[in-house]
Amino acid sequence: MATPDMTARRALGACAALMVGALTLTGCGGSAKADSKSSKGGGSGASSANTSTAKLTISAKDGSTAASINATGVRVSGGKLTDVRMTVSGTGAAVAGAISADGTSWKPAEQLERGTKYQISAEAKDASGRTAAANSIFTTVTSGNSFIGTYTPDNGTTVGVGMPVSFNFDKVISDKKAVRSHITVSSSSGQRVEGHWFGAQRLDFRPEEYWKAGSKVTMKIDLDGVEGANGVYGVQKKTVTFTIGRSQVSTVDVNTQTMTVMRDGTVLKKVPISAGSPEHTTYNGQMVISEKFVQTRMNGSTVGYGGEYDIPDVPHAMRLTSSGTFIHGNYWYNKGNPPFGREGTSHGCVGLADAQGANADTSAKWFYDNSLIGDVVTVKNSPDKTVAPDNGLNGWNMSWSAWTA
């Protein structure tokens, strides 16, 4: 039979065991916020006196599985950071980063990888030298649960007056309004810029008229954490700027087989061309140069013409549509009668007199050297239809009211 003394000792022993268990649980796991209580002192007064006023916050919560690859970092209030270590969990590979000049924040030097597990350990001190610490183990958003937009033009480039901003997303976007509202495009010219969706994965921006020559365009992408579809989030956050060059718009008249090149409102040159044949007509409409190649291969089988042609070294080629319309050099034109520029003989492209090898001083080389990505080539008087606005970067063929609807 147990005595009262024995009962008391057992109760004390049980309490001690529970306290050890509680301490063990407290010591396990991470925390995105610092536990700034000191382990020294027993009474409430002593604990308060030794508690750091530095409060640490790690933006990626401990245990989270969809952390941002852009916004992850550490902040402190009531103190300054003294040390932050970030590693890739499993490998231990260090992630470079830097503490801000004022000591209140830290961020990685580069964008994090998607679908990767990381660990952050941070320490800070308050004005009295008391230490606070925090740590977090988390996983960034996966590729399957995120979307990105490939865009043009690139940062720092100079483009023609017809160049739209164009995004192609790698996932179907169901919440178009949310995505559209987190991309802003503005111009130093003050022109109003609006976006238009072509389907569920392409979003283009342009002003009502061509960009003003010499203006600066700024695109702010703030898609990080934006839900573009159910459970699918954006991961991009950046600012892109580009410059609009001189104004160059060239007009191809199929009736006269001539192209008139206008530079800043003045005729720069008139060039004979060869448009599409009666069997393979050239689109009408405003077309924007989207790619340039000194030489490229053109194979009819890639655009539905079977084995009608396969030319491995087409010189001075510039893309006008995604379906395969180019303005390019032509060295294989029949040099007999009629001379170049009297009739259309192509499969829908606009040809310029050229020489094989792309080295001679020809009309095609001149036009290539004097053209920018984003310059406009307008075709008129062709028996074909007007090019579709989403066939290439050709949204100028849509009315402003339809664009903004």
Q: What is the pLDDT of residues 191-202, one digit of tens each?
A: 999 999 999 999
Neighbours of 323 (CB within 10 A): 14
DSSP H helices in 31-111: 44-49
Q: What is the pLDDT of residue 347?
A: 80
> Tokens standing for 312?
């491995």
The overall average pLDDT reported for the chain is 88
Residue with tokens 């569920």: 200
Do residues 110 and 97 touch, judged by C-beta distance below 8 A?
no
Q: What is the pLDDT of residue 88?
A: 97
Q: What is the pLDDT of residues 73-130, one digit of tens each?
A: 999 999 999 999 999 998 999 999 999 999 999 999 999 999 999 999 999 999 999 9
Do residues 81 and 131 touch, judged by C-beta distance below 8 A?
no
Residue with tokens 């995105």: 32
The residues facing 221 across adjacent strands are: 183, 238
Low-confidence stretches of the chain (pLDDT beneath 70): 1-49, 300-309, 335-338
pTM of the model: 0.78
Residues 6+ apart with CB under 8 A from 70: 111, 112, 224, 235, 236, 237
